[in-house]
Amino acid sequence: MNIYQPHLMRIAEITDETEDTRTLKLEFKDPAVAESFKFSAGQFGEYSVFGEGESTFCIASSPTRKGYIECSFKATGKVTQALRRLDTGDTIGFRGPYGNHFPIEKMKGNSVVFIAGGIGLAPVRCAIWNVLDMRDQFKDVTIVYGARSVGDLVYKRELEEWSKRTDLKICLTVDPGGETPEWKGEVARVPTAVEKTVAYAENTYAVICGPPIMIKFTLPVMDKLGFPAEHIYTTLENRMKCGLGKCGRCNIGATYVCKDGPVFTAAEMRAMPQEY
């Protein structure tokens, strides 16, 4: 078994989140691996369709839920298109977990704010469930999630579930023009929604993920609200292949996204050469 050999996974469930975003629930074919597999929120893996290749996504399910993992993806390239053609019962490969993770332990005893845009909710969702599955260990939990339009919102079932909970504050928003007549949430871009919804109390942590432009405009808002750059966590995407630090593809300066990341604080992002 060499380090490039994947686990075999069975596609247990397929959910179409939006027209172009699909979630797969994957079960380990090997019961011993299903039993022993551990990971932390924020880590990623290399998912493969045999014969087509591998693709990099975060693990979108929470580590508190055993025996399976989930991933969400858009069909943009050769491998993701091939993934979309598969059915429940089909076998794919999975290598992982790779990378670092959200500092869930450090966040315990504090308030946490989750901010996401579009498919960026996938890596954040993992952390959200991780926290909600241990709800009493955290103070306030706030979720701000938005997308270009109602149709682009992902994990709609869970958004509904979260909206019904009384132990968190949630703001769902769509960009102006993206609302439908039935839409009951906010109509504003994510950075604006963040400014309205989020407050900083001592030691509050933030987890942010979304399209680069959303992050670009949200970070100044966080700054204004008083969040120190060391308390803001995001997860970076970069072209990856091995996921193990050997193939030389994902580095940004001396930072290997697959080893030092993909989770970084805003302070670490600012210190990196802007080549991503």
Partner 1 sequence: MTNEFLSHASLSSLIAELVATGTRVIAPVQTEDSPDRLEYKPVCSLADAALAAGQPRLSLKELFLPSTEVLLSYRQTKEGVEIREVPTQARPQVILGALPCDAAALEIVDKVMSWDSKDELWLGRREATTIVSILCPVEDSNCFCTAVGVGPDSVRGSDVFLTPVEGGYLAEACTLKGQSLLEGRTADHADPEAIAEAEKAQSAARKKVQENAPAIPAGFSAWLTENFGHPVWNTMALRCHGCGACASVCPTCHCFDIVDEHENATEGVRRRNWDSCQTAKFTLHSSGHNPRPSQSERFRQRIEHKFSVYPRRFGEMLCTGCGRCSRICPGGMNLVEIVGGLISLSASNSGGAGQ
Partner 2 sequence: MKELQELAAKLLRDQNVQVVIGYEDGPAGVRPAFITDANDAARLIFDPRCVHNLATYLKPQRKHIAKLGKIAIVVKGCDARAVAGLIREQQITRENVIVIAVRCGGVLEKAPAKAAKKVELTEENVSVRCAGCEAREPKLYDYIVGELPTEPPVSSQRAGEIAQLEKMSTAERRKFWDEQFSRCIRCDACREVCPMCFCLQCVALRAQPQWIDSSPTPAANRAWQTMRMLHQAGRCVGCLECERACPKEIPLGLLTRYVAGVVDQRFGYKPCDDPSVPAPMGEIKTDDEEEFIR
- Applying CB under 8 A, which residues contact partner 1? 1-6, 8, 10, 29, 48-54, 76-77, 80, 90-91, 93, 237-239, 241-242, 244-249, 251-254, 256, 259, 273-276
| 77 forms part of the interface with partner 2 (CB under 8 A) | yes
Query: Out of partner 1, partner 2, none, which partner does residue 32 contact, by CB within 5 to 8 A per kind?
Result: none
Q: Is 242 helix (H, G, I), strand (E, B) or coil?
A: coil
Q: Which of 95, 87, 107, 65 is nearest to 206 (CA)?
A: 107
**Cα–Cα dist 18/53, whole Å:** 24
What's the closest the beta carbon of residue 86 comes to partner 1, in angstroms? 12
Query: Out of partner 2, partner 1, none, which partner does residue 81 contact, by CB within 5 to 8 A per kind?
Result: partner 2
- C-alpha separations of 29 from 34, 55, 89, 153, 272 in Å: 7, 20, 11, 31, 40
| 91 forms part of the interface with partner 2 (CB under 8 A) | no
Smaller CB separation from partner 2, 31 or 77: 77
Q: Which of 140, 145, 139 is nearest to 114 (CA)?
A: 145
Those residues whose C-beta lies under 8 Å from the C-beta of residue 19, and which sit 6 or more positions away, are: 151
* Helices 190-197 & 212-225 angle (0-180, nearest 10): 20
Smaller CB separation from partner 1, 90 or 158: 90
Query: Out of partner 1, partner 2, none, which partner does residue 273 contact, by CB within 5 to 8 A per kind?
Result: partner 1
Which range touches partner 2 (CB under 8 A), out of 74-82, 84-92, 143-151, 193-201? Answer: 74-82
First to last CA, the chain: 33
Binding residues for partner 2, per CB under 8 A? 53, 77-78, 81
